[in-house]
Amino acid sequence: MEHHIVLGIDIGGSGIKGSLVDIRTGEMQGERLRLATPQPATPEAVADTFAQLVEMHQWKGLVGCGFPAIVKNNVALTAANVDKSWVGVNIADALQRSSGCQVVAVNDADAAGMAIMRYGIGKGELGVVLIVTIGTGIGSALFYNSQLVPNTELGHVILHNMPAEHYAADSVRKRQELSWEDWGARLSEYLRHLERIMSPDLFILGGGVSKQFEEYAAFIKVDTPVKAARLQNNAGAIGAAYYAWQQTQLL
Ligand code: BGC
């Protein structure tokens, strides 16, 4: 088996996406496959879909898995956009049982952030870099001089009496059919709030909506520079693969 190839799988609120990743370059090998996230997204149902995706890649080696929750030592400590029964579950064990592969789990935004900082637009950026991933929810990955501070969960800061992700996530834009201008103004408000509490040197926006950055860039009014991630929706899977590889090197 080639040790520089790892399967990266990104479990999201609506889709579970996977790709083989060459850790040396961060490039995806072969096809990127996606299955819908089962609803309700219980541990059993998600573990089954995960195993299907592993099988579709005909993979037997190491798998890195991005998961949308606080993840400490592979255990999910929260569950905002997946079934609540995930809280307290060892994600790696559950997915290992269903797929037969060795699995390492990491917060999905932290995974995306690792890929962006290592292979993407964040490469070489020092100081405080705050990566915000925008999708079904809002995730965050905080880096100081390229070192990750894990599980920051800044999508849950309170804005207008609600978790910010209920106000400014991309799922809210779609559900409420907001114009780019209206949604961009909400995102701007959110970033201004983060600017006040975190004083970043750079914001990087990730998640699927980062590829439409031109649509709303003009409505974002913050003093900190803002860049859009170029790895877009693939960063989660690429970063999860890299994270898993890195963890196994540390053992
Ligand atoms: C979760 C985070 C996750 C983010 C993006 C939030 O609801 O709490 O852990 O990173 O969604 O998926």
* Residue 5 · residue 21 · CB < 8 Å: yes
Q: Tell me, what's the pLDDT at 232?
A: 67
Q: Is 10 in the pocket of ligand 1 (CB under 6 A)?
A: no
DSSP single-letter state for residue 133: E
Q: Tell me, what's the pLDDT at 230?
A: 78
Q: Tell me, what's the pLDDT at 2?
A: 63
Residue indicated by tokens 């990743």: 21
* Residue 24 · residue 81 · CB < 8 Å: no
Q: Determine the Cα–Cα distance for residues 211 and 39; give it in Å rounded to an integer.
A: 27
List the beta bridge partners of residue 18: 9, 33
Q: Determine the Cα–Cα distance for residues 153 and 138; give it in Å rounded to an integer.
A: 8
Q: What is the CA radius of gyration of the chain?
A: 17
Q: Is 206 in the pocket of ligand 1 (CB under 6 A)?
A: no
Q: Structure pTM?
A: 0.96
Q: Tell me, what's the pLDDT at 60?
A: 97
Phi, psi of 169 (to 5 degrees): -70, 165
Q: Which atom of ligand 1 is nearest to the CA of 156?
A: 8
Between helix 235-250 and helix 108-118 the angle, nearest 10°, is 90
Q: Tell me, what's the pLDDT at 66?
A: 98
User: Could you tell me the end-to-end alpha-carbon distance of the chain, in angstroms, rounded to an integer?
Assistant: 19
Atom 10 in ligand 1: residue holding the nearest Cα: 139
Enumerate residue ranges in the chain where pLDDT < 50: none
How much distance in Å is there from the Cα of 71 to the middle of ligand 1? 10
